[in-house]
Copies of this chain bind each other. A is one copy, B any other.
Amino acid sequence: MNIRLYNARILSMEENRDIFFGEVWVKKDRIVYAGDGTDTDSIYQKLQIPCMIWDREIDCEGNLLMPGFKDAHTHSGMTLLRSYADDLPLNDWLNQQVFPVEAKLTDEDIYELTKLAVLEYLTSGITAVFDMYLTPYSIYKAFDEMGMRGVQVGGVNNFSQSPELLEEYYLNLNGKSPLQSFMLGFHAEYTCSQELLMKISEIAHKYKAPVFTHLSETKAEVEGCRERYGMTPVAFLDSLGMFDYGGGGYHCVHVTEEDIAIMKKRGMYAVSNPGSNTKLASGIAPITQFLKAGVPVALGTDGPASNNCLDMFREMFLVTGLAKLKEEDAAAVDAMEVLKMATVNGAHAMGLGEADVIAEGKLADLIMIDLKTPNMQPLNNIAKNIVYSGSKINVKMTMIGGRILYENGSFLTDEKPEAVYEKANDIISKYK
């Protein structure tokens, strides 16, 4: 499909570029033009066609186009456990409620449950997700069939998956679909033996690849690691050479200054999950310290069992709001910084450098924000409106790889939502 989006405000998220008025042209899965629409003749020439034939021309009516949000940490298949066991202490929740159900899930269950998550991502303008869960092949299939850009990450630990499987996934799940990729990773320090971690580090060195993991999410995790190895999780994993080719940590709530220095040195990303950290009472991540140290921060929803929603608007408000509370400073972490976390930084963390901004040659992963809703008015400052006042209600269109998958409240995915809901409810009734 070739699609012309015109009469739009455009927040390209390129460095130092203000919102401008103009159009975005999409040819197949790429952006071939993003500009003010006045120099289009030369563009037609450059594209070597006398006049672009459009499959669709969309009048954006002054609404905003921006890069889609990148959900840089999630467990999509956990939609099953949304509101299944809330308001419980963390240990009870995990050991008595989550793990016993997860142990019974089949590949097919997770395939269906992942599709439910995809529908929700689309409603929140999320165009790519960084997903860690149990069954990479069926998750790959679900993302690909739904049209979702999925970057999966290994979740190996003492109880499931293995270094061999991790390597197999890495080799099998990259380079096959334009929408799917796989990165090295493991569940967490506290669920992996040192021997296992060393094998993962070896694989990272073999492929010169970055590694991602749950990192310093809770106080107890850090204390446990100190007892086991006399080091924080960041320092211990780094001592194994785990991050010699970069990577990052999910959560990163309880990190020290030394941890932050290591993360900076290794080119690591801090993927913050403020919604989950709030609901599970894990704490507030030191966002300002990461930014000061030059460690890029990305944002993720975490899985729907712990958050419970897959909504980047919630995460955006919380990442700055909680920083303001933590530092007792209403000026902490400004809105543009937050938008960068939710788009550009997420894309870079996930190896999606071609899906970071709206610009010629980039992947057409973009969204339209409805500005004609009461929560976006008046138009004092659109970027701040999105971060502080935005909601799923504002997502007018979600496009991934040039394909519009959600528009004006309707899903244009191949599988219809009613079928997905029915299957999810069937699955939960099996385990209740």
Q: How far is the CA of A19 from the CA of B350 in the complex (A)?
A: 42
Question: A392, B393: Cβ atoms under 8 Å?
Answer: yes
Question: B384, A308: Cβ atoms under 8 Å?
Answer: yes
Question: B325, A375: Cβ atoms under 8 Å?
Answer: no
A 18-30 binary contact with B (CB < 8 Å = 1; else 0): 0000000000000
Question: A86, B377: Cβ atoms under 8 Å?
Answer: no
Identify which of A221-229, A233-241, A418-426 touches chain B.
A418-426
Q: How far is the CB of A251 from chain B (nearest CB, A)?
A: 14
Q: How far is the CA of A417 from the CA of B373 in the complex (A)?
A: 8
Cβ contact of A123, chosen from B321, B393, B418, B421, cutoff 8 A: B393
- Please, which residues of chain B bring their CB within 8 A of the CB of A377? 79, 82, 116, 420-421, 424-425
A 252-268 binary contact with B (CB < 8 Å = 1; else 0): 00000000000000000
Question: B388, A83: Cβ atoms under 8 Å?
Answer: yes
A123-B393, A278-B321, A425-B378 are known contacts. Are A329 and B388 too (CB-CB below 8 A)?
Answer: no
A 152-176 binary contact with B (CB < 8 Å = 1; else 0): 0000000000000000000000000
Question: B117, A374: Cβ atoms under 8 Å?
Answer: yes
Question: B82, A281: Cβ atoms under 8 Å?
Answer: no
Q: How far is the CB of A410 from chain B (nearest CB, A)?
A: 12
> How many residues of A are counted as interface, with CB atoms below 8 angstroms from the partner's CB atoms?
75
A 276-287 binary contact with B (CB < 8 Å = 1; else 0): 011111011000
A195 at the interface (CB under 8 A from B): no
Interface residues of A in 373-407 (CB under 8 A from B): 373-375, 377-382, 384-385, 388-393
Q: How far is the CA of A119 from the CA of B372 in the complex (A)?
A: 11
Question: A425, B379: Cβ atoms under 8 Å?
Answer: yes
A203 at the interface (CB under 8 A from B): no
- Please, which residues of chain B bring their CB within 8 A of the CB of A333? 87
A310 at the interface (CB under 8 A from B): yes
A330-B90, A335-B86 are known contacts. Are A378 and B278 too (CB-CB below 8 A)?
Answer: no
Q: How far is the CA of A421 from the CA of B373 in the complex (A)?
A: 9
Cβ contact of A330, chosen from B88, B329, B375, cutoff 8 A: B88
A314 at the interface (CB under 8 A from B): yes
Q: How far is the CA of A321 from the CA of B372 in the complex (A)?
A: 30
- Please, which residues of chain B bring their CB within 8 A of the CB of A425? 377-379
- Please, which residues of chain B bring their CB within 8 A of the CB of A375? 120, 123, 309-311, 392
Q: How far is the CA of A416 from the CA of B385 in the complex (A)?
A: 22
A374-B119, A374-B123 are known contacts. Are A278 and B324 too (CB-CB below 8 A)?
Answer: yes
Interface residues of A in 285-326 (CB under 8 A from B): 304, 307-311, 313-314, 317, 320-322, 324-325
Cβ contact of A388, chosen from B86, B123, B381, cutoff 8 A: B86
Question: B330, A279: Cβ atoms under 8 Å?
Answer: yes
Q: How far is the CB of A164 from chain B (nearest CB, A)?
A: 34
9 interchain pairs (CB within 8 A)? A87-B333, A88-B330, A278-B321, A279-B324, A311-B391, A372-B421, A378-B424, A392-B393, A393-B393
